[in-house]
Amino acid sequence: GDGYDMRLYCWATIPTESDQTPTGVFDFQDGVTSLAMHGDQLVGAGPMRGIRHWKSLPLNGEPPDALYEGQIGSVSFNRVTHVALDGTYFYALDDQKALHGWPGVPEGNEAPAFTLQLEGPEPYIHSDGTYLTLSTRNSVALYDVSTLETDPTPQLVTGFAHSSHLGQALAADGHLFV
């Protein structure tokens, strides 16, 4: 996803050399702020035009199957800043720092399964299906995905400092990468 050129570039196979031409290009129209993929599904958020959802990978630059502008399910928003997707939930973080989670990408007016109102700096989000990570430049909150609807209590990892850039973290296979 290219926020500057406002395009999603797709390669049917991993490029083996520099400047390899993509097999498909999709014009995102307003930039790409966040992308998430699980299986063959892809979701992307742009700063002004909302969320795009592909039910299968757009290897040839196909348009999304759904576009959500200003609302997804029963939730209205000005701007979605980050998205994540795993085998359990689709997550969308809005510009009011409300993190909404649905069981899959909603196709109708479904209410989210949970909403967390976050404090502090806007985090980067990622989920591997076991842990949802919310990371900022000086901390990481790890949520057990299985408890998000009942007891969303994070485990906090602190004690390190990043530059002024947003710190990114992800959990995968029982490991944490910051």
pLDDT by residue (tens digit) across 31-70? 778 889 999 999 988 877 688 899 998 888 888 999 888 8
- Give the integer Cα–Cα distance in Å for 149 and 133: 16
- Residues contacting 99, CB < 8 A, separation 6+: 91, 92, 93, 115, 116, 117, 118, 125, 134
Looking at residue 160, its pLDDT comes to 64
> Do 176 and 140 touch, CB atoms closer than 8 A?
yes
Q: Closest Cα to residue 64, out of 83, 80, 42, 86?
A: 42
pLDDT by residue (tens digit) across 60-111? 888 899 988 888 888 988 888 899 999 999 999 998 899 999 999 998 889 9
Q: Is the pLDDT of residue 164 over 70?
A: no
This prediction's pTM: 0.86
Q: Closest Cα to residue 106, out of 10, 39, 171, 41?
A: 41
Q: Is the pLDDT of residue 4 over 70?
A: no
> Do 25 and 7 touch, CB atoms closer than 8 A?
yes
* pLDDT band at 127; cut points 50, 70, 90: very high
Structure tokens at 74: 């029963």
Indicate the Cα dihedral angle 90, 95, 99, 105, nearest 10°: -20
Distances (CA, A) of 28 to 43, 63, 66, 68, 171: 12, 9, 13, 13, 28
- What is the secondary structure of 70-104 as a DSSP string? SEETTEE-S-EEEEEE-SS-EEEEETTSEEEEESS
